A and B are shown apart, each in its own frame.
Chain A
């Protein structure tokens, strides 16, 4: 079985500051891990994903995440927050490639 825990339902950062959104997963098999962003009343846009290979994954809009098996984590980071980064972020895991299990989401606020 797979599950995802996103620590912090709300995160606020100042514009230009580091963004760190936390995601821990549970999976009985090697996981596929994803980060999605959702803007109000819109669907989900893939930021990045880890399937196999390099554990540091770079995505769109300057985001990256590192798969740490020993910590069962897949935290999302961005060196410098931009106002346009304000949105809801979802971490998701898939164990068999056939179904997503989503976290409860983290709402990111960027303070000017």
Chain B
């Protein structure tokens, strides 16, 4: 299957700072990228969907000003957690698709810890 690379795999940041997570499709052009958040022992919660060159579509309850998503190219999407707080600590996973979710591939995830 195709490869989606997520970086960093782990990050620790201080409360109040911002942190950027990158999601790259290495061997295909991802017209659509999805960002998920996973709480311990919980399922994945879709945060937002982004199409290359367009503004991301956020799910209800997700603060768009706090979780900034940029999908500037067909191989890269970034999620920036702004003014991070301890409650933002979580596992964030991206997935990328050249079209429909039936062809989506997932990144390895990023463990964010805000101290």
Give chain A's interface residues, CB within 8 Å of chain B.
32, 36, 41-46, 49, 51, 90, 94, 97-100, 102-105, 107
Q: Across the interface, which residues of A come within 8 angstroms of B102, CB to CB?
A: 32, 49, 51, 94, 97
B58 to chain A, nearest CB (A): 13
With A32-B101, A44-B44, A46-B106 known, 9 other A-B pairs at CB within 8 A are A41-B109, A43-B4, A43-B93, A44-B95, A46-B1, A90-B43, A97-B99, A104-B42, A104-B43
Q: Across the interface, which residues of A come within 8 angstroms of B91, CB to CB?
A: 41
Q: Across the interface, which residues of B come within 8 angstroms of A41, CB to CB?
A: 9-10, 91, 109, 111
Quick check: A105 and B101 within 8 Å, CB to CB? no
B10 to chain A, nearest CB (A): 8
Name the contact of A99 in the complex, choosing from B4, B49, B111 (C-beta under 8 A).
B49
Known: A100-B46, A102-B44, A104-B42. A43 touches B107 (CB 8 A): yes
Chain A residue nearest to B104 (CB atoms) is A100
Q: Bound state CA distance, A27 and B33, in angstroms?
A: 23
